Copies of this chain bind each other. A is one copy, B any other.
Amino acid sequence: MKLELVAKTLKELGHPTRLAVYHAVVRAGRQGVAVGSLQQKLNVPGSTLSHHLSGLLSVGLISQRREGRTLFCVADDERFNAMVSFLQNECCADEEPNQ
């Protein structure tokens, strides 16, 4: 994963509302959670929520699946794990003296 993309991904998580949204989506598991439910649960206006969701979608942290009138949001573990791996492998290097 390239640094630029990692930074983008971190930035998306780096907003309290979006982090809370992502948190809720992750906790909803494979089935996901409806946008409307998020709206209620987090008490955020629809337009604002939609804006934040598109941010999370844009970096692939979540994806969506429609069922009738309701859109479900599901977390994409792979993207998340790739980001954490970057942080731990590329960033949070070992304690060995660098020589």
Binding site for B on A (CB under 8 A): 3-4, 6-16, 18-20, 22-23, 26-31, 75, 77, 80-81, 84, 87-88, 90-93, 95-98
Contact = CB atoms under 8 A, between A and B. Distances in A.
A15 B7 contact: yes
Nearest to A20: B3
Contacts of A19: 3, 6-7, 10, 91
Contacts of A31: 97-98
A10 to B, nearest CB: 4
Nearest to A16: B7
A98 B4 contact: no
Contact of A11 (B11, B26, B88): B11
A11 B30 CA distance: 27
Contact of A97 (B7, B30, B90): B30
